[in-house]
A and B are shown apart, each in its own frame.
Chain A
Amino acid sequence: EAGVAQSPRYKIIEKRQSVAFWCNPISGHATLYWYQQILGQGPKLLIQFQNNGVVDDSQLPKDRFSAERLKGVDSTLKIQPAKLEDSAVYLCASSLEGTGANVLTFGAGSRLTVL
């Protein structure tokens, strides 16, 4: 079984530029999560999708972050414009369904450095 695929693995941009991350979950997983993990901290949920609908985006800074999962499969997370404090690893995870009672499978993450 293929894992959760993420790209790019690394990205360096200057502040005020934009960046996009892509995630392809495990086939058949209805629930997809995007997390932000700042160095030394635990992951923070940014957004949770159930198929192509948003379940929870309460911690997504909507003035600069956006995410979509149009066909209920892969997803993109965009930051525009980026700030220095957005430097972090952006993790994508998926599970069969979103009650929290299924195993989470994580991608390798996308490390963003904002200069």
Chain B
Amino acid sequence: AQKITQTQPGMFVQEKEAVTLDCTYDTSDPSYGLFWYKQPSSGEMIFLIYQGSYDQQNATEGRYSLNFQKARKSANLVISASQLGDSAMYFCAMREGGNDNNDMRFGAGTRLTVKP
């Protein structure tokens, strides 16, 4: 069974600094996708970034980058130049197999607080 682990229940970062949110995963499937979502207090789930298991380069989307270390099965999210609006819950998720597999599983989440 696949498993997603986020070991940081809460993180604090100073505004304008970078922060790394940790995520490790466990799967025996060679084909999988890794996702990060942001959930502000409003409750919506905002898609941030995606990394495929066969992707050669780390994914980047604006201030978000994914530090993908396949051998270590880690997919840490790096947020550069933190902003107050980045304060939210962040969830790491994984979906195994090809696109016919709908089984996206989520980690427990990390609550990020950006300090002014």
Q: Do A and B bind each other?
A: no
